[in-house]
C-alpha cells in the first residue's frame, strides 16, 4: 500500500472541501483534497441558488453565475412578483464554480486526488482519527494526517465511520432537469408552492442563462413519501403553472440531490476532526441552500486547522474556535428559519394563497433578508414596525420567538 503524509486530509471536493483545502494550504499546511468522482462536479446535486453579495466576497467570477433581480411565487390560486432594480440573487453554473474553487485550492498548494474513494478511517490506539485509506485506480493509498476535514456532504463518510453521527432523520430530496427553453425571463426565478407542486416542499424554475433553466421539485423527508422525480415529470408533462409559459422545453441533464434539514443538530469538532458544509448540516431550511455556508465555513475550518497544527495541538479544544465561529454567525438565524419552515410545511393550498399575500407586502431587500434567513433582531423589529398588516407582524414575531 502506498503511504502518503499530509498535515491535513480533506474528504470531498465540493465547495466546503475546496475552500477548506485552499485556506489550509494558503496558511502553510500540506493538504490532500480527496474527491471520489473522476473530476470535480462530475455529478451535479444542487440547483445552485445563492446570493451575489456572498459570492463576490469569495472571489467567484461573474461568468460563474446568472444574476436574478425578480422573485416570483405562485400557489394554486395566487401569484406574486417582487422586483428589485439591482440583481442580488444568483443561480450558479455549479460545475464552473466548483472547479474554480478546486483550482484555487490547487494553486494554493493543495494536492488534488480525483477518482479516490475513502474506504476506511485510520485511528490511533485511543480511537482518534489519524487519516484515511482510499482506493484509487485499483490501488490502495494510506493518507496519514494530523487533521481530517469531513466535507463529504450529506453522507458524512468520516464522521459516520467513526460512529460520531448517524444518518440525517430530516432532509430534503430534490430532482431537477437542466433544460433549454423557447421563452424565458432570465432574471426572474419562480418558486411554486402547494400540494399540486410539492407536498412538504416547493417546485422551482431557476434560470441559468438567456435560454436555459433548472426546473425542479424538492420534497421534505419524512414529511412526505412522494418521489420528487415522479412529481417533476408530472409537472413537465402537464406544464403546470409558470412552466406553461416557457414554450418548448428540451431536457439537457438530470440532477438529483439530498440536503440535511435537521437544523444545526450536530457537534462538528472532535480530536483531529472537523465537519463542514452538508456534513455539518449547515443549510438554510427555507429554500434548502447552503453553498455560501459551505464556502465561508470551509475557509474558517481550513484556517483554524492550520493554526492548530502550527501550535502543535489538534485536540477538540484547539479546533473548537471553528464551531464557535459558525454558531455565532448563523445558529440563531437557522433556528428562526426552522420555525418558519415548520409553519410552511403544514400549510394547506388555501393557506398558501394567503401566505403569498404576506410575502407580497415585502420589498425586494426585505424579501431577500427573509428568504436568506438573515433574521437579525433589529431587522425583524423594523419589519414588524413598518408593515401595518397584523399578519405580517405576527409572522416576524414568530421568527423572533416572542
Residues composing the chain: 402
Residues 7 and 101 in one domain: yes
Residues 325 and 391 in one domain: no
User: If you ran DSSP here, which 8-state letter would residue 110 be given?
Assistant: P
pLDDT in tens, 125-154: 999 999 999 999 999 999 999 999 999 999
Domain boundary among the residues 260, 288, 317 is at 260
Question: Which of 355, 236, 353 lies closest to 286, judged by CA?
Answer: 355
Instruction: Give the pLDDT band of residue 243 (cuts 50, 70, 90).
Output: very high
Domain that holds residue 381: 336-400
Average pLDDT on 18-35 reads 98
pLDDT in tens, 226-240: 999 999 999 999 999
For 243-247, the CB contacts below 8 A with 24+ separation are 243/205, 243/215, 245/183, 246/179, 246/181, 246/182, 246/183, 246/184, 246/205, 246/213, 247/181, 247/182, 247/183
Residue 191: inside a domain: yes
Cα separation, 175 vs 396, in Å, equals: 31
Q: Identify the pLDDT of residue 384.
A: 63
Q: For residue 244, how many C-alpha atoms fall within 13 Å in the half-sphere facing its CB?
A: 4
Residue 56: inside a domain: no
Helix 390-400 crosses helix 349-360 at what angle (to 10 degrees)? 90
Residue 16: inside a domain: yes
Residues 362 and 319 in one domain: no
Q: Identify the pLDDT of residue 335.
A: 86
Residue ranges of alpha helices (H) inside 245-376 are: 291-310, 316-345, 349-360, 364-371
Residues 249 and 369 in one domain: no
Residues 76 and 209 in one domain: yes
Residues 180 and 311 in one domain: no
Cα separation, 143 vs 2, in Å, equals: 9
Residues 235 and 348 in one domain: no
User: If you ran DSSP here, which 8-state letter would residue 145 be given?
Assistant: -
Q: Identify the pLDDT of residue 136.
A: 96
Query: 327-344 as b/e, with b when 16 or more CB fall inside 10 Å?
Result: eeebebbbbbbbbbbeeb
Residues 231 and 266 in one domain: no
Residues 162 and 173 in one domain: no
User: If you ran DSSP here, which 8-state letter would residue 126 be given?
Assistant: T
Cα separation, 327 vs 324, in Å, equals: 5
Average pLDDT on 187-211 reads 96
Q: Identify the pLDDT of residue 383.
A: 65
Instruction: Give the pLDDT band of residue 390 (cuts 50, 70, 90).
Output: very low
Instruction: Give the pLDDT band of residue 338 (cuts 50, 70, 90).
Output: confident
Instruction: Report how many domains make up the chain.
Output: 3
Residue 82: inside a domain: yes
Cα separation, 264 vs 386, in Å, equals: 31
Cα separation, 246 vs 207, in Å, equals: 11
Cell of 362: 415585502
Domain boundary among the residues 204, 232, 260 is at 260
Average pLDDT on 104-108 reads 98
Residues 84 and 107 in one domain: no
Cα separation, 101 vs 94, in Å, equals: 11
Residues 272 and 131 in one domain: yes
Which whole-number Å values give the CA distances from 174 to 164, 211, 220, 228, 337, in the listed order? 26, 22, 9, 6, 19
Question: What's the CATH number where 149 sits?
Answer: 3.50.50.60
Average pLDDT on 261-270 reads 94
Domain boundary among the residues 314, 329, 344 is at 329
Contact by Cβ (8 Å): 63, 99 = no
Residue 52: inside a domain: no
Q: DSSP per residue over 29-69, as a string?
A: --EEEE-SSSSTTSS--S--EEEHHHHHHTT--GGGEEEE-
Residues 178 and 283 in one domain: no
Q: Identify the pLDDT of residue 60.
A: 97
pLDDT in tens, 208-218: 999 999 999 99
Residue 54: inside a domain: no
In this structure, the strands spanning 129-136 and 188-194 are unpaired
Residue 51: inside a domain: no
Residue 184: inside a domain: yes
User: Which residues make beta-bridge pairs with 148?
Assistant: 9, 273
Contact by Cβ (8 Å): 174, 228 = yes
Cα separation, 106 vs 112, in Å, equals: 7
Question: What's the CATH number where 185 sits?
Answer: 3.30.9.10
Q: Identify the pLDDT of residue 380.
A: 63
Instruction: Give the pLDDT band of residue 179 (cuts 50, 70, 90).
Output: very high
pLDDT in tens, 307-323: 999 999 999 999 999 99
Amino acid at each position: 500500500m502506498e503511504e502518503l503524509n499530509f498535515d491535513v486530509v480533506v474528504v470531498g471536493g465540493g465547495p466546503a472541501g475546496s475552500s477548506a483545502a485552499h485556506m489550509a494550504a494558503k496558511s502553510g499546511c500540506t493538504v490532500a483534497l480527496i474527491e471520489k468522482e473522476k473530476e470535480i462536479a462530475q455529478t451535479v446535486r444542487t440547483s445552485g441558488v445563492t446570493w451575489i453579495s456572498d459570492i463576490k466576497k469569495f472571489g467567484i467570477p461573474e461568468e460563474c453565475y446568472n444574476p436574478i433581480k425578480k422573485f416570483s411565487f405562485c400557489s394554486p390560486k395566487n401569484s406574486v412578483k417582487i422586483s428589485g432594480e439591482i440583481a442580488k440573487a444568483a443561480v450558479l453554473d455549479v460545475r464552473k464554480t466548483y472547479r474554480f474553487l478546486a483550482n484555487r485550492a490547487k494553486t494554493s498548494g493543495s494536492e488534488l486526488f480525483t477518482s479516490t474513494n475513502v474506504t476506511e478511517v485510520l485511528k490511533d490506539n485511543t480511537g482518534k482519527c489519524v487519516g484515511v485509506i482510499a482506493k484509487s485506480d485499483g490501488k490502495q493509498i494510506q493518507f496519514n494526517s494530523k487533521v481530517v476535514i469531513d466535507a463529504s456532504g450529506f453522507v458524512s463518510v468520516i464522521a459516520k465511520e467513526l460512529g460520531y453521527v448517524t444518518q440525517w432523520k430530516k432532509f430534503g430530496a430534490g430532482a431537477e432537469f437542466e433544460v433549454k427553453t423557447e421563452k424565458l425571463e432570465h432574471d426572474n426565478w419562480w418558486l411554486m408552492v402547494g400540494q399540486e407542486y410539492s407536498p412538504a416542499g416547493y417546485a422551482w424554475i431557476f434560470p441559468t442563462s438567456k435560454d436555459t433553466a433548472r426546473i425542479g421539485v424538492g420534497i421534505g423527508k419524512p414529511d412526505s413519501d412522494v418521489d420528487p422525480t415522479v412529481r417533476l415529470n408530472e409537472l413537465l408533462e402537464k406544464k403546470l403553472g409558470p412552466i406553461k409559459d416557457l414554450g418548448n422545453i428540451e431536457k439537457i441533464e438530470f440532477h438529483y440531490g439530498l440536503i440535511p434539514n435537521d437544523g444545526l443538530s450536530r457537534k462538528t469538532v472532535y480530536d483531529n476532526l472537523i465537519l463542514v458544509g452538508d456534513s455539518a448540516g449547515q443549510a438554510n431550511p427555507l429554500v434548502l441552500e447552503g453553498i455560501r455556508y459551505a464556502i465561508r465555513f470551509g475557509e474558517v475550518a481550513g484556517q483554524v486547522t492550520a493554526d492548530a497544527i502550527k501550535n502543535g495541538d489538534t485536540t477538540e479544544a484547539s479546533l473548537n474556535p471553528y464551531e464557535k465561529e459558525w454558531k455565532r454567525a448563523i445558529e440563531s438565524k437557522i433556528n428562526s428559519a426552522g420555525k418558519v419552515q415548520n409553519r410552511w410545511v403544514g400549510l394547506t393550498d388555501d393557506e398558501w394563497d394567503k401566505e403569498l399575500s404576506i410575502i407580497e407586502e415585502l420589498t425586494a431587500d426585505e424579501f431577500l433578508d427573509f428568504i436568506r434567513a438573515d433574521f437579525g433582531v433589529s431587522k425583524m423589529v423594523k419589519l414588524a414596525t413598518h408593515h401595518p398588516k397584523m399578519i405580517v407582524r405576527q409572522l416576524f414575531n414568530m421568527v423572533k420567538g416572542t
